[in-house]
Structure 1
Amino acid sequence: MSASRPRLSRVRQHMVIWTICGGVLTPLLPTNSYALDPSRLVQSQSRSVSFTIESLPLRAALLEFSKQSGIQLIYVAQKEPLQNVPALKGKYTIRQALRRLLRATGFEYEFSEENTVTIRTKGDHTDKIPQNKNDISSPQTTTEADNNPAAGLEEIISIGSRAKGRTAVKTPVPVDTISARSMMATGETETGRILQSLAPSFNFSSSSISDGTDAVKPATLRGLGPDQTLVLINGKRRHTSALVHVNTSVGRGATGVDMNAIPPSAIKRIEVLRDGASAQYGSDAIAGVINIILKDQSDGGNISSSYGQTYKGDGDTFVANGSYGIKLMSRGHLTLSAEFRDKKNTNRAGLTGCLQFETGGQKPCAEGNIAIDPREASFERKNFRIGDSDSRQKALVMNMALPFDDNSEFYMFGTYSDRDNQSAGFYRRANDVRRTVVELYPEGFLPLINSRILDHSILAGVMWDMGRGWTLDASATTGGNSFQFIIANSLNASFGADSPTSANAGTLKINQTTVNIDLSKAYEKANIAFGAEWRHEDYRIIAGEPVSYQNGGQFNRNCPGCDINPIPYAPGFQVFRGFSPDNAVDEGRNNLAIYTDVEIEILNNFLLNVAARFEDYSDFGSRINAKFAARYQISSAFALRGSISSGFRAPSMQQKFFNSTSTQFVEVNGQSVAQERGTFRNDSTVARTLGIPELKKETAINYSLGFVATLADNLTMTADYYRIDINDRIAISGSIPIGDDFPLVTAATGATDGQFFTNMADTKTQGVDFVLNYNVPMKSGHRLMLSLAANKTETRIKSGSIASPLPGVDGLVLFSPQDRSIIEEWQPSSRINFTLDYGYKQWSFVLRNNFYGSYVVCEGSCNTTTGPGQNIQKFGSKMLTDLQLSYFLDKARVRLILGANNLFNIFPDMNKIGQSRAGSIDGIVSSPGVFTYSRRSAPFGHNGGYYYMRVVKSF
């Protein structure tokens, strides 16, 4: 404890210095050129604009008004008329257009600044109306982080419904919307962690010593797999990560999108559709859809820098980012965002209790050992790294729209991310006679995995008004992800002392090209859309350097008894054996889809949505999916909603073709033991000889039923029950010994055991989502918003659905109790989020509690809950508290932020199972093992408390 105090003091000094520098220097930067000038205010109000706004709900019409005029709207009215407002087409001044849109609605407008208009209920002349767009006293005001023309209308969403202008509470399915302001108020620096902090149905579990999974965490919705959630950018399908999670972690056997490749500084809002949507968006949308909307301002922007550190003095994180909008022609925009993030590793490892050197015939890891080698006394026993890995990321995002007439535009966006990640494996002891060459590492070594993760995408499209109300949206996008493994501080022991200590172990690559053509037409009471999609995917595994995978044939003759009976060294680089030419892959496939999506309003209070989609894959066949959703407005304060849909997920390219040999540590008698395990592709000779069938698609049926209630002015509540039945769920099998049946394979790959992807079981997931939002009426200058969101979910494998595809091999061998536990128990059974957001003039205060329910982790045979040999552990629920305080300097347009996440320094329960390096040495060490906290699943990590400061300059 005393060792960390000086460092903490230095960090506090740095934070004070950063704060002072921000306050002194930022006023020198350019400020907003649009000061409140009466002459310019009149000029803005009297200018004419050509409007083309269809008959839409009020908020949707106002959103179109904002887009077409460039006027920022702040919406402080609490209710909205049920009927659509009349269409607005032609050339009008700003005031004329507003009067026509608000006629007979019960609302009025007021200019509070040259380019800002407040919409409110007639007669509501309280002091809630902001006098400045940076005044945080308004319930719906924007901040410098939300510098966009329609920030006050963020409830309007673009997923779950193809009808323009549908608000989140008026869709027939549940949709969460997360604004840039809410994202900044979390204090988190990664998109995945931000979503986890704000959306209880979303999980972003951490693990350690899990190869590439240390760098790309699995992102899941409703407790399902990372590959059962579809991710969109600006409504367009996003490519996945090249990595597939093959180690023992949440998401084992699945791949997903690298959520952290999109920097938070580029995001305007995130929409989370909590419902099956394969009939609307295609494969993968079983648990739901996450749609990331990029910033699109045409003027101004912000720059920001932040620094933070854990209470224990590690995990230092520095972030510098910014975004800037440029106006193109009269109504176009080019928005550029950039971010740099440097995050140091954290370490919560325990001490190793094993003998590192000469054993004198003793078991290296046992109780009561006696040191033979004097070096044992001074050896550094905290030699594992269990925690967050080192990470350094550079990211760029561009978003552009260029109108070429009043109703048509060309649009484009692109993303680029370059991330370097470093994680560690198991420490190799000096007395490990097969894996350590003492001439190179006389005290053993900690092998490191340096991952280079590149992610890129570019999309271009045109939105074209075809006349008679028809709109064509045609776009093409291409993007990809690559994951390169560079192994350092390691060796290929089979080359003896001639082995290099670092090597390129190979690269995984995935590329995706998608072309979309969508046609839609909005009627007064209906919306019809149909279209087609063509997609091509390429998957590659590129072999590493020969030394990373070859067998050099050297023997260890420098160990007790080895002069007489030499021991062969293990081939391949330690921690991650490189991909060989036999592992190399270059495969592709095509997919063609057509869809139709119809929404119709019946009798003003009943909304019906019907969608159907046909998909045809070149490698496994076709599938038709359908969806029926409805919303019934019983009264102005209460509505029922529900849906039933079919869904599917095509086997990913990674699941079909990934293959490798890796060292995996498995539980044997309570200790982790190394095993050389091969992952064999589904069409390999080994898989075919064993009888592993070809992969087929997963299919699903989704049900949901819920309600939306307006309990009082400013108080809304939603609750939704859901059930998701998935058949033929794809999983990676348990370990099967192959040495006896395939000696040549073992000789070539070094693998003594094998695992395969196969359609393994059927599952049932059910649960409840609950959301309560209250905008508390306050006195002048005050703002208070309360929100409570919760998710309860449970996944169970259906009885009798686990069937072995191999004759004579029991299904419980192929799909072990641990594999079953990963699907059913490794994620929290419940999540609750409570947020209190209070503002007074320039001050803002956010208090957030995140509750993580209990979860279970098991090892090996998963059959002992207590006592010696325990291999099942239930981890208790925890409540984490986050706190943020900020102050906005009006003249400088600078926001100063201080905060703490996990304020009370909460950790998961101490780990009792799957230990490694437990033991004691008389007079030196006694340790229960190095895994103080579970390395398998840590829903909120195991870093403890974290404090930070941030400076944001707007212009």
Structure 2
Amino acid sequence: MTRAFFTLIFTLSCVISFAQSLKVTGKVTDEKGEPLIGASVIEKGTNNGTTTDGGGNYALTVGFNNATLVVTYVGYNKIEREINGAGTQDFALTDATVLNQVTVVGSRNLNRSSADTPAPVDVIDIREVTTKQGQLDVNQLLQFAAPSFNSNRQTGSDGADHVDPASLRGLGPDQTLVLINGKRRHQSALVNLFGSRGRGNTGTDLNAIPAAAIERIEILRDGAAAQYGSDAIAGVINIVLKESVNQLTANVNAGIFKAKYRYDDKKYDGLNYNVNLNYGVKIAKKGFVNVTADYNFRDHTNRANTVDSEADLARRQFGDPKINNTAIYYNAKIPLGSNFQVYSFGGLNERSGDAYAWTRFPDDDRNIPSIYPNGFDPIITSKIKDRAVTVGVRGIWKSWDIDLSNTYGLNKFHFGVKNSLNRSFGALSQTSFDAGGFQLGQNVTNLNVTRFYKSVLQGLNLAFGAEYRTERYKIFAGERASYYNYDPTYPGGSQGFPGYSPADVTDNDRSNVGAYVDVEADITKKFLVDAALRFENYSDFGSTLNGKLGLRYKLTDALAIRGSASTGFRAPSLAQKYFNSTFTNFVNGQAVEVLLANNNSAVTKALGIPQLKQETSQNASLGITFTPASRLSVTVDGYYVKVKDRVVLTGQFSDDDEEIGDLLKALRVGKAQFFTNALSYTTTKGLDVIIAHSAPVGVGRLSTTLAANFNWMDLGPVNTSPKLAGKEDIYFDERERRFVLASAPPSKINLTFDYSVDKFSLMLRLIRFGEIKLANWDYEIDVYKPKMQTDLTLNYKVTKNFSISVGGSNILNVYPDKSLPALTESGGGWDPVQMGSNGAFFFTRLGFRF
């Protein structure tokens, strides 16, 4: 029924009349009249566009006589022109002298657009997206804008409550490489231990980058380790910062959730608001500094009251954490003479959060009634500091484009616990604790050299370069009362989140050197070949050599096929190698102390757990791009990713185990788990489909997009050590298998209608999330059936300087299917699946531009 509904609506939108269309032809040249091959010509506000041929000529059918054409070519200044009914439009672009655009990911050819790369690339205009949807942070913006991207808010997940894990194509957060302006971004110091997203993975904290500072986001949906380095197994996300000058933009956003499950009579909670400013200043004739200031507040939601019987209630507070997020970001370029420029970008982000931990009820043996006669709900606090800065020089020397840069990034988590106690200390226990934390620093020195040979074949691009990267990971201890046990007859440490002890403290580093060569050639005007080779050497994992071959063949002017095959590599993060902690887990509602031991601990050695080794991958993709009409485009891309020796969290070994039981009892923990290459392999097969159509309807324009991701994952045999032979069901049990399989819903379908008339626009979006299956603490399967979310936004441009948007996300207040709170990982009625568990969100946005 749902499939038929999507098909019917989309088909109806595609049969709209083309009566108002106009064919425009012309030529794009430089100032000297030389043709610019591969220049991009796009009808503004649509997906309708083309590129110039070998003579600089183009032909494009536009929807309106007064359409605006946008013409761009890397290294030249952009031109926007309203055609006013004229069918011939020639453009002469002026030389920008110093290159001022970031290469689109997927190709190192500076003359290549995202429309004709050998691998699928999504280009998301952040201004367009933020105007028409209520999400305020980058993770949630992409969750509902890109079907292959998945990120869910989590609760009861310790540090992951404060950083939303994100992934591409159902793989791990640490298997996606993130770039800022084409430069490698540092990862978060956090390793995710709970929840159904990113379990056992580290990832990049996208929410540290304010959406207001971003011009566009490019998502390369293809393995790219040979092009950009390790971590790019699933793909690459490149965030391009704003470069605008002499324009002040400001936005005020506010929204609130409609509360469906609460003890009290509150109908709304989870207030969100955001204020941001962006302004750019010219430096000399062609330089600039663009600065963004952003503040985002998110209040608690509470969705704990999901059951009829209090006996089934696991927590009294369950929902979004409270977050205060402040960021300042900049992007700058300063010309040096006529052919070189110095550039720099980066920013500061500080975030503080309060997240709900599990409830300790009045009669709980972890409560002290004289302190909390009604029991207590511990609050895990966080102070997250994120720093990043890139400085580089770029220019043209004898037709070579040379780019030398250095990037430093630091991410630091500092945890606290309040509304808590140390049960082993007794009635005089303090109620707030400094619990310690961890940090990750990264420094990258990068050199890229590129040259385009116009006269070789039909155009050949040669690129090569090198990179040197260092990383350092630290764990620092909390105050003594946060981790110490003063009376062994009671559990010690701060309830809700035991602090890091001196035994957990670590300080480790490593280095990596890499070199690559990339050749991209238009063999003929129809046939493109791209080949890349990359060597990397890690100080702790040795050397690897990876390659990629990509092809694109234009069968007709309307139809092209593209494909690629590559190998990849990902070294386990320093956090996966060295993280060590004791935490409290709740199994069937009962508190259990769990040791997560690193590879060098006595526990792992007793079990014969091997040292972590690198993951390797094999990627293949095949797709088509089809433009049967000037305003209709279709792309279909199938993919296959096999990851060998996948790093995961093991299941939990109990203190009755014959090998380590006595050791665990001596450490006063009930269970232990580890990071290990438990899976011999995983295979992920999938399909991305994007159909975009734009047509005049009445006095306005209707743009319709159907974007879908279908994803299937299989898990290979379990790798165990000789001492653990026969214990495969513990080493990697059914719960852990289900968490890996649930990294993404098996399908996510996004159907968007965007209708605009003069100053008014309306966006209707329907998103269908596929079925998710997880194993609960009783090892029964919790099934979260397919769900559909409906979003609606109205935008009105009051004046050229002021606009207002009102709307809602999930306006029909749809929730995932309920599960029993005492048996879920989160302790709430839902694990973090599909659209989330907060319900309908209604918002208003005011936009100013001067």
TM-score band, normalised by the shorter chain? 0.7 to 0.9
Change (3 A) 1:574 1:849: same
Matched to 2:270, the amino acid is G
The code of the aligned residue for 1:795 comes to M
Match of 2:487 among 535, 553, 560: 553
AA in 2 matched with 1:404? L
Check the 8 A contact 1:648/1:698 in 2, yes or no: yes
1:837-860 deviations in Å (ceiling 9; x for gaps): 111111111111111111111123
Moved more, 605-614 or 835-844: 835-844
Alignment of 1:252-651 (within 5 A): 252-312=199-259, 313-350=268-305, 365=311, 384-433=316-365, 435-467=366-398, 469-524=399-454, 525-553=459-487, 568-651=489-572
- Offset at residue 57 of structure 1 (A): 3.2
1:415 Cα offset (Å): 1.7
Match of 1:884 in 2: 793
1: CA distance between counterparts of 2:519 and 2:69? 40
Q: Aligned partners of 1:52 and 1:577: how far apart in 2? A: 70
Partner of residue 759 from structure 1, selected from 658, 677, 695: 677
Could you say what secondary structure the match of 2:50 adopts? coil
Native 8 Å contact 1:651 1:695 kept in 2: yes
**Partners of 1:913 and 1:416 in 2: CA distance:** 38
Matched residues in 1 for 2:34 and 2:408: separation?
A: 33
Inter-CA distance 770–53: structure 2 relative to 1 (3 Å threshold): farther
CA distance in 1, matches of 2:84, 2:47: 9
CA distance in structure 2 between the partners assigned to 1:890 and 1:235 by the alignment: 36
Give the CA deviation at 1:247: 2.2
Residue in structure 1 matching 2:837, options 909, 929, 942: 942
Aligned to 1:57: 37
- State whether residues 901 and 945 of structure 1, in contact with CA within 8 Å, keep that contact through their aligned partners in structure 2: yes
CA distance in 2, matches of 1:698, 1:175: 25
Q: What residue is the counterpart of 1:775 in the other structure?
A: 694
Structure ID, larger Rg: 1
SS of 1:246 mapped into structure 2: coil
* CA distance, structure 2, for counterparts of residue 330 and residue 944 of structure 1: 50
SS at match of 1:384: coil
Partners in 2 of 1:273 and 1:112 — Cα distance? 26
Deviation at 1:786, TM superposition (A): 1.1
Going from structure 1 to structure 2, the CA distance change for 1:155 and 1:255 (only over 3 Å counts) comes to same
Contact (CA 8 Å) 2:776, 2:823: kept in 1 or not? no
- Whether the 8 Å CA contact 2:650–2:676 is kept in 1: the answer is yes
Q: CA 1:599–1:495 in structure 2 vs 1: closer, same or farther (change >3 Å)?
A: same
TM-score (norm 2): 0.88
| Cα contact 2:60–2:630 (8 A) shared by 1 | no
Q: Partner amino acid for 1:439?
A: S
Distance 2:742 2:186 in 1: 28
Mapped contact 2:47–2:692 kept (Cα < 8 A): no
More strand by share: 2
1:716 paired residue number: 633
* 3-state SS in 2 of match to 1:314: strand
- Matched residues in 2 for 1:225 and 1:851: separation? 22
Deviation for aligned residue 1:517: 0.7
8 Å CA contact 1:516–1:534 kept in 2: the answer is yes
- Is 1:171 equivalent to 2:67 in the alignment? no
Q: Give 1:298 deviation, angstroms.
A: 2.1
Greater CA drift, 243-252 or 115-124: 115-124
CA distance in structure 1 between the aligned counterparts of 2:30 and 2:522, rounded to whole angstroms = 29
Correspondence for 2:642 among 725, 728, 750: 725
1:564 is aligned to none
Q: 2:306, 2:152 → 1: CA distance? A: 24
Superposed CA deviations along residues 744-789 of structure 1, whole A, max 9, x for unmatched, are 854674322211111011101001000011121356x622211110
Kept in 2, the 8 Å contact 1:52–1:407? The answer is no
Partner SS state of residue 821, structure 1: helix
TM-aligned CA deviation for residue 207 of structure 1: 2.6
Cα displacement (A) at 1:812: 1.7
Is 1:836 aligned to residue 783 of structure 2? no
In 2, Cα distance between the equivalents of 1:222 and 1:52? Answer: 46
Q: Distance in 1 between matches of 2:191 and 2:584?
A: 16
Q: Partner letter of residue 333 of structure 1?
A: F
Once the two structures are TM-superposed, the CA of residue 803 in structure 1 deviates from its matched residue by: 3.7
Q: Give percent identity, aligned residues only.
A: 38
Matched residue of 2:39: which SS? helix
Change in 2 beyond 3 A, CA 1:506/1:949 = same
> CA distance change for structure 1 residues 52 and 910 in 2, over 3 Å: closer, same or farther?
farther
Compared CA separation, residues 769 and 347, structure 1 to 2 (3 A): same
Amino acid at match of 1:526: L
SS in 1 for 2:555: strand
Is the partner of 1:635 in helix, strand or coil?
coil
- Per the TM alignment, residue 878 of structure 1 is displaced from its structure 2 partner at its CA by 1.0
After alignment, is 847-856 or 905-914 more displaced? Answer: 905-914
Confirm or deny that 1:161 pairs with 2:107: yes
Q: Which stretch of the first structure deviates more once superposed, 804-813 or 444-453? A: 804-813
Kept after mapping to 2: 8 A contact 1:731/1:758: yes
* CA spacing shift, 1:742–1:933, aligned 2, 3 Å: closer
Q: 1:505 to 1:156 in 2, by over 3 A?
A: closer
Q: Does 1:652 align with 2:573?
A: yes
The 2-side partners of 1:649 and 1:410 are apart by: 32
Q: Distance in 2 between matches of 1:77 and 1:879?
A: 26
Structure-2 separation of matches of 1:116 and 1:766: 39
3-state SS of the aligned residue for 2:174?
Answer: helix
Comparing 529-538 and 422-431, the one that deviates more: 422-431
2:195–2:826: 8 Å Cα contact kept in structure 1? no
In the alignment, structure 2 segments of 5+ residues that lack a partner are 1-28, 71-76, 90-94, 260-267
Q: What is the alpha-carbon distance in structure 2 between the residues aligned to residue 276 and residue 914 of structure 1?
A: 40
- Asked whether the 8 Å contact 1:304–1:321 carries over to 2, the reply is yes
Aligned to 2:18: none
Please give the alpha-carbon distance, in whole angstroms, between the structure 1 residues aligned to 2:209 and 2:572: 25
- Does the aligned pair in 1 maintain the 2:664–2:672 contact within 8 Å? no
1:790 partner letter = A
Distance change in 2, residues 1:206/1:260 (3 Å): same
Q: Is the 8 A contact 1:857 1:937 kept in 2?
A: no
Does structure 2 conserve the Cα–Cα contact (< 8 Å) formed by 1:110 and 1:117?
no
Partners of 1:494 and 1:931 in 2: CA distance = 25
**Counterpart amino acid of 2:585?**
Q
Contact 2:69-2:82 at 8 Å conserved across structures: no
Give the equivalent residue in structure 2 for 1:240: 187
Task: Report the secondary structure of 2:254's partner residue.
Answer: strand
Aligned residues: 792
Residue 24 of structure 2 is matched in structure 1 by none
Mapping of 1:38-77 within 5 angstroms?
56-59=36-39
Shift of 1:109: 12
Cα distance in structure 2, aligned partners of 1:443 and 1:53: 81
Q: Write the deviation string for residues 12-49 of structure 1: whole angstroms up to 9, x where unpaired.
A: xxxxxxxxxxxxxxxxxxxxxxxxxxxxxxxxxxxxx9
